[in-house]
């Protein structure tokens, strides 16, 4: 694999540890002779910044790799911004679990160097596409790497909705809401709601009810090509919302219809060769715990 020549650098704002890793990454990449283009909001972390400073739109046109310093939340926004361009994205983890941002700050030069030397793999993570319709007219669109979530909008409230898949009625339900997640998002909010863990390579979507008023409503896994339609009930809470990756939030009214499909574009995530999804699960979800110690 060819090494990358021009790298766009993006760092999450408001975190001293992110600043530390942005400075370290900039120094190492400059030493390696890489041409850097720095996102506008990230440039303030480099004092002074001796590299071109551009918007994210410009980064998408000038770079052959996007380097993100932050947590998985930072990568969710980058996914929506850069998936359509097809640019590969590499994450340095300065967040929590770090399922998506895999480079360790403690091994930044070693792991980044391996990627620059061509020792990497690329995983494709498909996004979900949301179209919100009101009286058959589109009133909002967005994409999501993790999940699209319909919820009551206030604590301790329930809502009603109906679910159809590929034009076939599935059920009506009264619950706190519904999570529609990609395989990438199966280890996020859907997991905490009792959904299954799905390998990122699966072409499937999981539908997870949130605290339903029935004991038999369980997560449902459907084909990735499925069209999922959720219609908000007339007797629902007065403030329902629908969100994409908990970062894009839209108000919905009774009768509104959410149409969710697999998006046309995927996020190309770059990982070092030693990356393992199951290894990440063992480490980050504590699968290694056992009586008497831990399994390495």
Question: Active-site residue numbers?
Answer: 72
55-96 residue pLDDT tens: 999 999 999 999 999 999 999 999 999 999 999 999 999 977
Domain boundaries, the chain: 6-119+273-294, 127-265
Q: For 6-119+273-294, which CATH class?
A: alpha beta
**Long-range contacts: 217-226, Cβ < 8 Å, 24+?**
217/171, 217/173, 217/175, 219/190, 219/194, 219/195, 220/170, 221/196, 222/165, 224/126, 224/262, 225/262, 226/165, 226/166, 226/261
Q: For residue 7, what pLDDT band results from cuts at 50, 70 and 90?
A: very high
11-38 residue pLDDT tens: 999 889 999 999 999 999 999 999 999 9
- pLDDT of amino acid 153: 82
Note the CATH number of domain 127-265: 2.60.200.30
- pLDDT of amino acid 83: 93
**pTM for the whole thing?**
0.93
């Amino acid at each position: 694999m060819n090494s990358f020549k021009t790298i766009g650098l993006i760092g999450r704002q408001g975190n001293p540890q992110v600043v530390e890793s942005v400075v370290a990454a900039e120094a190492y990449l400059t030493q390696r002779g890489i041409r850097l283009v720095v996102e506008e909001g990230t440039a303030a972390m480099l004092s002074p910044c001796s590299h071109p400073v551009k918007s994210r739109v410009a980064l998408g046109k000038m770079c052959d790799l996007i380097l993100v310093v932050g947590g998985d939340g930072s990568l969710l926004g980058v996914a929506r911004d850069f998936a359509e361009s097809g640019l590969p994205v590499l994450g340095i983890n300065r967040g929590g679990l770090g399922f998506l941002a895999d480079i360790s700050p403690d091994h930044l030069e070693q792991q980044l160097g391996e990627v620059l030397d061509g020792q990497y793999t690329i995983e494709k993570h498909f996004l979900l596409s949301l179209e919100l319709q009101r009286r058959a007219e589109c009133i909002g669109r967005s994409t999501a790497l993790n999940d699209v979530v319909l919820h009551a909008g206030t604590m301790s409230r329930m809502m009603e909705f109906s679910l159809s898949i590929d034009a076939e009625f599935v059920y009506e339900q009264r619950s706190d809401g519904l999570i529609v997640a990609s395989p990438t998002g199966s280890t996020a909010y859907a997991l905490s709601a009792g959904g299954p863990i799905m390998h990122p390579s699966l072409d499937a979507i999981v539908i997870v009810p949130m605290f339903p008023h029935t004991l038999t409503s369980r997560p449902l896994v459907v084909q990735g090509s499925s069209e999922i339609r959720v219609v908000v009930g007339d007797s629902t809470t007065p403030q329902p919302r629908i969100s994409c990756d908990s970062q894009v939030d839209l108000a919905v009214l009774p009768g509104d219809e959410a149409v969710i499909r697999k998006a046309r574009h995927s996020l190309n995530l770059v990982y070092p060769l030693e990356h393992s999804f199951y290894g990440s699960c063992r480490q980050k979800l504590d699968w290694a715990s056992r009586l008497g110690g831990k399994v390495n």
